[in-house]
Amino acid sequence: MRRIDQTELEAMLYQALKAAPPTTKTAMRSKLAMESDRAHEAMAKHIAARLAGGSTAVVVADPVDNGYFDKRPGVWGKDEPGPD
């Protein structure tokens, strides 16, 4: 297991966006709200499938109390040790 840096993540996103179906990319620019929303959902699913494939895992810090009545996203190295 290894940690990827932001440039590698950006490269993965770039590849996922370039490989997205042309019809989805076109529909994202639609003036019809429902068509655009469906296209954005399809694009999000496409990108998530590319990022969370059989050899990739996305790791996030656990939410922590913000001192009031809610939680905020945790910060690696501050709220919990960073992943190795």
Residue-wise pLDDT for 49-82, tens only, equals 877 776 777 777 888 888 788 888 888 888 888 7
Answer yes or no: is pLDDT of 2 > 70: no
Answer yes or no: is pLDDT of 1 > 60: no
Instruction: Give yes or no: residues 39 and 69 share one domain.
Output: no
* H helix runs in 52-83, sequence order: none
| Model confidence, pTM | 0.57
Separation of alpha carbons 36 and 76, rounded Å? 35
Task: Say which residues have a Cβ less than 8 Å from residue 73's Cβ, sequence separation at least 6.
Answer: 60, 61, 63
Instruction: Give yes or no: residues 13 and 49 share one domain.
Output: yes
5-41 pLDDT, tens digit each: 777 777 878 888 888 888 888 888 888 889 888 888 8
Q: What backbone torsions phi and psi does residue 5 show, to the nearest 5 degrees? A: -90, 175
Instruction: Give yes or no: residues 41 and 10 share one domain.
Output: yes
Answer yes or no: is pLDDT of 44 > 80: yes
CA distances from 13 to 17, 25, 37, 43, 69 (A): 6, 14, 20, 11, 35
The domain total for the chain is 2
DSSP annotation of 31: S
* Domain extent for 79: 59-84
